[in-house]
Amino acid sequence: MKKFWLVFAYEYKRQVLRKRFIFAILSMPLMVAFMVGIGYLSVTLNSNPLPVGYVDPYQLLSNPKQVPEAPSSAMKQVEVIRYESETAARDALNRGEVQAYYVVSANYMSTGEVTMVNNDKVGSNASSSFGNFLKYNIASGLPETTVTRLIDGNNMIIRSQDGKRELDANNWISIVLPLLSGVLFFIAVNITGGYLLQAVVEEKENRTMEILVTSVSPTQLMGGKITGDLMVGLTELFVWILFAIFGLIIAPRFLPIDQTISIEPSFLLLLVATFLPAFIVTAGLMGTVGAMATESREAQQIAGLFTLPMIVPFWFITSIMFTPNGPIAVGMSLFPLTAPISLPMRAIFTDIPAWQIVVSIGLLWVLAVFSLWLAGRVFRIGMLQYGKRLSLHDVFHRAQEWPICLKHYLF
């Protein structure tokens, strides 16, 4: 077992201390930060700080007041200036004092009709500022909380019948995070699985394999590699989660985010229970392909055959969202290669029956054990096949050697 840990430590350190790993691990949060920054910048650039004017010829608003600035609004509210006549408003517009002005129609209370007059493109915050101003002042006689409620609009919360699960329309981060975790998982599993694939093929290509197998049993060698790879993947996810927590703590200080992020512990448990065997499955299959292939490029092409099914749930995201208990969603959450993404995705939108969770995770573990076993066997047969790809026929035709292997190479 000591050599197992030596291989494990070597594989882990070898991958984690490489520049490409550090680059990969930092590129994800940097990319997310960049995208958030771009989004914020886009909103800011589309805003216009100039006030808007309005004309209220029918005196619908008596003694109007400015809407108090919401501290966490992504879009800055602009000042709303009253003009006595449309001529005065137009003059102000022509002088560039306002970006646009609005004329409230006589039948506003029954139709909500308002006319906007502008010379140039108005900021995306102009109409929303004026809309809030109207709502705020029309409801000025009502209690403050009612006025705030009116301005904030609806907050639809969808609860399951047993009340255990709920979706809050305003708490969008809680919906996006599980989807994001699926994407992160897919990226992590592919990056680290790719490392393992490359490591095995490289050892065959540079002939280190022959030295290794005369020092360590194939089972310990492959086991150490796969476990090392698994830890590399978990390190990657762990660092990304740390970045995410850090980002969510510091982001509200710089960005107008007003969200209470609440993720249910049961959902986190489901994520861990699904991702762990899925990681092992991927590592085992990558190891198998590495042992079968003769060069890195060929190995990556073969690996695509089982990494591709993992992203299939994203193609069916609409179906999973709207019919999370439909046959497509259920089928994909039971099939081991699509389950890692589709099971947590379904869990956001529905209460998954316990039997489906048990079957899905159970099948994943079965496949995990099988892929490890297969990796060990294929590795043993294919480790010294330089320049010749191991065929499935070889793998199964030479199955008679396996009991001997087991006898000699158990820990």
Closest to other proteins by CB, 20 or 164: 20
User: What are phi and psi for residue 172, nearest 5 degrees?
Assistant: -65, -25
Among 207, 238, 262, 353, binds other proteins (CB under 8 A): 207
Closest to other proteins by CB, 80 or 375: 375
* 11: its two tokens: 């594989």
Cα separation, 104 vs 97, in Å, equals: 20
Among 41, 45, 305, 404, binds other proteins (CB under 8 A): 404
Nearest distance from residue 213's CB to other proteins, in Å?
Answer: 6
Closest residue by Cα to residue 261 from 281, 247, 272? 247
Q: Are strands 166-168 and 114-117 parallel, antiparallel or unpaired?
A: unpaired
10 binds other proteins (CB under 8 A): yes
Among the listed ranges 25-33, 157-165, 206-214, 272-280, the one in contact with other proteins (CB under 8 A) is: 206-214
* 231: its two tokens: 């830890």
Nearest distance from residue 45's CB to other proteins, in Å?
Answer: 45
On whether the CB atoms of residues 361 and 352 are closer than 8 A, the answer is no
Among the listed ranges 105-113, 208-216, 246-254, 341-349, the one in contact with other proteins (CB under 8 A) is: 208-216
Closest to other proteins by CB, 14 or 76: 14
3 binds other proteins (CB under 8 A): yes
Among 26, 30, 31, 211, binds other proteins (CB under 8 A): 211
209 binds other proteins (CB under 8 A): yes
Neighbours of 139 (CB within 10 A): 16
Closest to other proteins by CB, 199 or 330: 199
3-state secondary structure of 388: coil
3-state secondary structure of 97: coil
3-state secondary structure of 384: coil
7 binds other proteins (CB under 8 A): yes
11 binds other proteins (CB under 8 A): no
Among the listed ranges 55-63, 133-141, 213-221, 326-334, the one in contact with other proteins (CB under 8 A) is: 213-221
Among the listed ranges 44-52, 89-97, 207-215, 288-296, the one in contact with other proteins (CB under 8 A) is: 207-215
Among 85, 215, 262, 266, binds other proteins (CB under 8 A): 215
Among 91, 120, 144, 210, binds other proteins (CB under 8 A): 210
**66 DSSP β-pair partners:** none
236 binds other proteins (CB under 8 A): no
Closest to other proteins by CB, 142 or 384: 384
Nearest distance from residue 288's CB to other proteins, in Å?
Answer: 19
* Strands of 169-272, DSSP E: none
Cα separation, 230 vs 15, in Å, equals: 11
Among the listed ranges 2-10, 62-70, 281-289, 360-368, the one in contact with other proteins (CB under 8 A) is: 2-10
152 binds other proteins (CB under 8 A): no
Q: Who contacts 36 (Cβ-Cβ below 8 Å, separation ≥6)?
A: 251, 255
Cα separation, 20 vs 271, in Å, equals: 27
SS3 track for 316-330: CHHHHHHCCCCHHHH
On whether the CB atoms of residues 69 and 88 are closer than 8 A, the answer is no
On whether the CB atoms of residues 196 and 225 are closer than 8 A, the answer is yes
Closest to other proteins by CB, 86 or 202: 202
Closest to other proteins by CB, 10 or 370: 10
Among 208, 262, 266, 301, binds other proteins (CB under 8 A): 208
Among the listed ranges 6-14, 83-91, 138-146, 174-182, the one in contact with other proteins (CB under 8 A) is: 6-14
Q: Residue type for 203, please? A: E
Among 36, 92, 180, 213, binds other proteins (CB under 8 A): 213
401 binds other proteins (CB under 8 A): yes
Judge residue 163's burial from the number of C-beta atoms within 10 Å of its C-beta, 0-12 exposed, 13-18 middle, 19 or more buried. Answer: exposed
Q: Residue type for 82, please? A: R
Closest residue by Cα to residue 228 from 25, 380, 4, 411? 4
Buried b vs exposed e over 174-203: b needs ≥16 C-beta within 10 Å?
beebbbebbebbbbbbbbbbbbbbbbbbeb
Interface with other proteins (CB under 8 A), residue total 23
Binding interface with other proteins (CB under 8 A): 3, 6-7, 10, 14, 203, 206-217, 384, 386, 401, 404, 408
